Structure 1
Amino acid sequence: MHRKERSENLKNNIKYLIKSRGETQLSLCNSSGLTRTTIYNILEGKVVNVQHSTVRKISDFFGVSYEEIETIDFEEKEIIESSVSPQGNMNPAAVPVIKESLLVQNLDKRIGELATLYPLTYYFGTSFNLIGVLLEREISGMNEPGDLLIVQKGSSSNDREKLLYDKVTKQLSISREGGVDADRFCVVGDIIEERFNGLQR
């Protein structure tokens, strides 16, 4: 198989596996030891010859075959497999997309109401009570303006990154810590998925 095809497969599979496994680019980087730049460059198609060690770290993280991640289409494979599984045909959840600057004033509104007020994106998975937060400012070292964070509103579990609103600085931040100073921070919810600017389908 041609190198370009392999890198295209790798790129598409990473996007699909991140989405379908409920991971984020950040969790992939943290667990595999790869830098965000490396992942970003692969996803942007800026590298054709991805190093074997990099491919292996990515395939190990997702628990898939090193050979398959560059040669087969996982989305196609899993769609075929899921069409015969009981969980197949899951309906996507409609997710209202709210700009960062409008987030706080809308936190108390129900998802159904928000869905009538704001544009929608869709999330394929088992989560509920989801909102999309469209970033207008950088979250230092993490995300850039234009990135979209899919957040399970109000949820705060220990194993996921949380989106926090700092009442003092009026800025968003991301934390993995369990205990949060409730006087200063408002927990928006758990981050279920990150969609990077320019990578939204």
Structure 2
Amino acid sequence: MHKKERTEKLKSNIKYLIKSRGETQLSLCSSSGLTRTTIYNILEGRVVNVQQSTIRKISDFFGVSYKEIETVDFEAKEIVESSISLQGNTNPAAVPIIRESMLLQCLDKRIGELAATYPLTYYFGMACNLVGVLLEAEINGFNEVGDLLIVKKGMPASDKEKLVYGYGTGKLFITRDPVLDLNVFRVVGEVIEERFNGH
């Protein structure tokens, strides 16, 4: 496949993945560390030779194969797979499971890197940039030790349930509070699923 074809495939896949996963160019940039100019130039077809490190950051963000994002038509592939999937219209996303005590040091690592070094669970649904947080302390009286929270990393919409780490207390909590002092708290991300005692 020629470079131009690969870049076209990459461009159409990014557009499809942003739309189908409910993301935006901004969320892609802020979570992957790429600049808006880089993404804009790829989507506008201004770059023929996209750097491998850029492609890896994009594929990690969406939780898709680094090799496939330039060569496979994801929209066509997912339509075929959804029509034969027993789980409805989504394919499972691999989610690295991180113990609460290891969470802070893992937050700035890419999902692809975490998935290679931590045990995995699977999430059936339209989401990417997911981590599983295995609780080692009770939260808010709702979640117990051993519960697994599936969290979409990054800053969610203001009304969503967020998993937050308090620097002062060294503890995690869940809140819908739209205004948090980021000097005092670290937002892990939006809680999208709770599994009680690992179930």
Tell me the distance in 1 between the aligned counterparts of 2:102 and 2:127: 23
Q: Note if 1:125 corresponds to 2:135.
A: no
Q: CA deviation at 1:102?
A: 0.2
Tell me the distance in 2 between the aligned counterparts of 1:159 and 1:168: 24
Q: CA deviation at 1:88?
A: 4.5
Match of 2:146 in 1: 146
Match of 1:111 in 2: 111
Could you list the per-position Cα deviations for residues 23-60 of structure 1 after superposition, in whole angstroms to 9, with x for gaps in the alignment? xxxxxxxxxxxxxxxxxxxxxxxxxxxxxxxxxxxxxx
* TM-score for both structures, normalised by structure 1: 0.55
Match of 1:93 in 2: 93
Q: CA deviation at 1:156?
A: 1.6
Q: What's the Cα RMSD here?
A: 2.0
Q: CA deviation at 1:179?
A: 0.7
Could you list the per-position Cα deviations for residues 107-137 of structure 1 after superposition, in whole angstroms to 9, with x for gaps in the alignment? 1000000001100000000011000000000
* TM-score for both structures, normalised by structure 2: 0.55
Q: CA deviation at 1:189?
A: 0.2
Q: CA deviation at 1:180?
A: 0.6
Could you list the per-position Cα deviations for residues 72-106 of structure 1 after superposition, in whole angstroms to 9, with x for gaps in the alignment? xxxxxxxxxx7489x94421000000000000011
Tell me the distance in 2 between the aligned counterparts of 1:137 and 1:97: 16
Tell me the distance in 2 between the aligned counterparts of 1:88 and 1:192: 18
After the TM superposition, list the runs of 4 or more consecutive aligned residues in structure 1 that deviate by more than 2 angstroms: 82-85, 87-90
Tell me if the contact between 2:107 and 2:188 (Cα under 8 Å) persists in the aligned partners.
yes
Tell me the distance in 2 between the aligned counterparts of 1:181 and 1:122: 32
Tell me the distance in 2 between the aligned counterparts of 1:140 and 1:95: 24
Give unmatched runs, 5+ long, in structure 2: 1-81
Tell me the distance in 1 between the aligned counterparts of 2:149 and 2:155: 14
| Amino acid in structure 2 at the alignment position of 1:151 | V
Give unmatched runs, 5+ long, in structure 1: 1-81
Could you list the per-position Cα deviations for residues 134-190 of structure 1 after superposition, in whole angstroms to 9, with x for gaps in the alignment? 000001312100000000001321232000000111110110110111110000000
Residue pairs, 1:1-201, within 5 angstroms: 83=83, 88-197=88-197, 200=199
The alignment partner of 1:103 has SS state of: helix
The alignment partner of 1:158 has SS state of: coil
Tell me the distance in 2 between the aligned counterparts of 1:155 and 1:132: 16
The alignment partner of 2:112 has SS state of: helix
Identity %: 64
How many aligned positions are there?
117
